[in-house]
Amino acid sequence: MKRLQIMIEEELDEALALQARREKTSKAALIRRFVAAELEPAPSLEDDPLWSFVASASDAEPVDDIDDFLYGPTARP
């Protein structure tokens, strides 16, 4: 779990406190439940279509001069 600090209006904080007391839970637990009900979890990195491009570069050999590699050899003085 990750710590997150938020700012909310005092009226919402009071409503959260009241609801938390009714349910015998914490305000943080209520907020987590409310957020989870509204948001879908982020997809895992491996499910991202761009991940295959990153994985394909893992076999690449390091290069001494990235400019030569990308643009071809250049004349040097």
pLDDT in tens, 24-65: 999 999 999 999 999 988 878 777 777 777 766 666 677 788
Contact 11, 17 (CB under 8 A): no
Residue 77 lies in a domain: no
The total number of structural domains that make up the chain: 1
Residue 76 lies in a domain: no
Residue 21 lies in a domain: yes
Q: Which of the two residues, 77 and 26, has the higher pLDDT score?
A: 26
| CA-CA-CA-CA dihedral for 30, 4, 2, 35, to nearest 10 | 40
